[in-house]
């Protein structure tokens, strides 16, 4: 993997003004994406992962605003760049694959026309050349009989085929970075596996970088090299997928992993994380996970806990990350660990 940083996000803050105060959906999030690598953002619903992803290309809900931080793409700052600059980048240098293709695809355009749109409009290709490009992309993403399927409308295709169309659209202008917002959630497990293998193969073959948002740890394990775990708007742990999943250094990551059934590990009960995520308009003091944490101490409640380096390639937002790692070693969360 190239060590060149393609995307650098620092201290990103996304806020929603409410009658009862300000809700910080993303609070000081930082991460890097290197050329040719896949980074996963994982966490339960409401953790801020999708808001962080959409902030990268200015696709936030109308009520949201970016209140601070920095987003650098290829060394150029995107925050404050203006809508014209973001439109230039979206769909060319940076593409996005959405969770539900039926709401993202245009129902009154054929899928071939939608795939050919970026090559024609953004890259200046003739309509004929753009159509040929669309057929090539349909073959690349595994759509059979592309000449016939190109004339179909989205409702005439299966969910898996529609998601392959979305991937073809995302690739149509030759992007360097693809943002994936839970693109397999609405698919059955067989089709989900096919789409994930396709994304992984495309990433390896085309050397495109991917940021993959999911609440499914297995999806992140299958597609990503590195992972950032988010809770209550913050990154609470990051590192390589193998290291984080085998020896988590934050109790929230440990809880997530123990909540996943693993038929190779024999446990008396399937664990769950007690309590509920906090109200982000009025988050807890100190560590935001402390009301639900089995390792909580007094200083967790009263002390601001930063994201701290715990090794050369890992960081955790936990004062007692060694206790957490020791517990993971005592009762492994991954078979064979």
Q: Are strands 94-97 and 177-181 parallel, antiparallel or unpaired?
A: parallel
Q: What is the spatial order of strands in the sheet that 21-34 belongs to?
A: 21-34, 5-18, 65-73, 76-77
What is the C-alpha separation between 261 and 306, in angstroms, rounded? 31
Give pLDDT tens digits for 12-61: 999 999 998 999 999 999 999 999 999 999 999 999 999 999 999 999 99
What is the C-alpha separation between 14 and 24, in angstroms, rounded? 6
pLDDT at 267: 60
Give pLDDT tens digits for 278-296: 999 999 999 999 999 999 9
Does pLDDT of 238 surpass 90? yes
Mean pLDDT, residues 120-141 taken together:
95
pLDDT at 334: 63
Give pLDDT tens digits for 59-96: 999 999 999 999 999 999 999 888 888 888 887 899 99
What is the C-alpha separation between 63 and 10, in angstroms, rounded? 22
Handedness of CA 3, 7, 32, 209 (dihedral sign): negative
What is the C-alpha separation between 207 and 140, in angstroms, rounded? 15
pLDDT at 82: 83
Q: What percent of the chain has pLDDT over 90?
A: 78
What is the C-alpha separation between 253 and 238, in angstroms, rounded? 10
What is the C-alpha separation between 335 and 337, in angstroms, rounded? 6
Nearest residue to 171 (alpha-carbon basis) of 106, 263, 253, 94? 94
DSSP codes joined into one string, 226-293: EEEEEETTEEEEEEEHHHHHHS-SSHHHHHHHHTS--TTS--SS-----S----TTSPPSSSTTGGG-
- The domain spans of the chain are 101-174, 230-330
Contact 134, 115 (CB under 8 A): yes
Contact 229, 317 (CB under 8 A): no
Does pLDDT of 244 surpass 70? yes
Q: Are strands 209-214 and 177-181 parallel, antiparallel or unpaired?
A: parallel
What is the C-alpha separation between 76 and 94, in angstroms, rounded? 13
Contact 195, 160 (CB under 8 A): yes
**CB-based contacts of 222, cutoff 8 Å, min separation 6:** 196, 200
Q: What is the mean pLDDT of the chain?
A: 91
Contact 208, 176 (CB under 8 A): yes
DSSP 90: B
Mean pLDDT, residues 158-167 taken together:
94
pTM of the model: 0.91
What is the C-alpha separation between 121 and 155, in angstroms, rounded? 24
189 vs 115, higher pLDDT: 115
Phi, psi of 289 (to 5 degrees): -90, -5
Q: Are strands 5-18 and 65-73 parallel, antiparallel or unpaired?
A: antiparallel
pLDDT band at 100 (very low <50, low <70, confident <90, very high): confident
What is the C-alpha separation between 124 and 122, in angstroms, rounded? 6
């Amino acid at each position: 993997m190239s060590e060149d940083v393609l995307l650098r996000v620092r201290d990103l803050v996304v806020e929603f003004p409410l009658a009862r105060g300000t809700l910080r959906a993303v609070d000081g999030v930082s991460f890097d994406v290197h050329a040719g690598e896949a980074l996963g953002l994982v966490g339960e619903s409401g953790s801020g992962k999708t808001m962080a992803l959409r902030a990268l290309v200015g696709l936030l809900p109308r009520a949201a605003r970016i209140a601070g931080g920095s987003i650098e793409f290829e060394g150029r700052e995107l925050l404050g760049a203006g809508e014209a600059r973001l439109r230039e980048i979206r769909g060319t240098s940076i593409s996005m694959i959405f969770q539900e293709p039926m709401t993202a695809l245009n129902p009154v355009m054929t899928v071939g026309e939608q795939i050919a749109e970026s090559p024609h409009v953004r890259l200046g290709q003739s309509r004929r050349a753009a159509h040929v490009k669309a057929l090539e992309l349909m073959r690349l993403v595994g759509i059979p009989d592309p000449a016939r399927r190109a004339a179909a409308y989205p409702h005439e295709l299966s969910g898996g085929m529609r998601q392959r169309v979305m991937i073809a659209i995302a690739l149509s202008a030759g992007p360097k970075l693809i943002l994936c917002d839970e693109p397999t959630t609405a698919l059955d497990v067989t089709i989900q596996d096919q789409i994930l293998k396709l994304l992984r193969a495309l990433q390896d073959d085309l050397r495109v970088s991917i940021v993959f948002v999911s609440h499914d740890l297995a999806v992140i394990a299958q597609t990503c090299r590195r992972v950032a775990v988010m809770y209550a708007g913050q990154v609470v742990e990051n590192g390589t997928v193998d290291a984080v999943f085998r020896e988590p250094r934050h109790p929230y990551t440990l809880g997530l992993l123990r909540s996943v059934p693993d038929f190779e590990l024999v446990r008396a009960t399937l664990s769950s994380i007690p309590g509920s995520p906090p109200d982000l308009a009025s988050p807890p003091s100190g560590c935001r996970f402390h009301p639900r944490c089995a390792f909580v101490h007094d200083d967790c409640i009263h002390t601001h806990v930063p994201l701290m380096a715990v090794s050369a390639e890992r960081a955790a937002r936990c004062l007692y990350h060694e206790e957490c790692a020791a517990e993971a070693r005592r009762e492994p969360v991954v078979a064979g660990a």
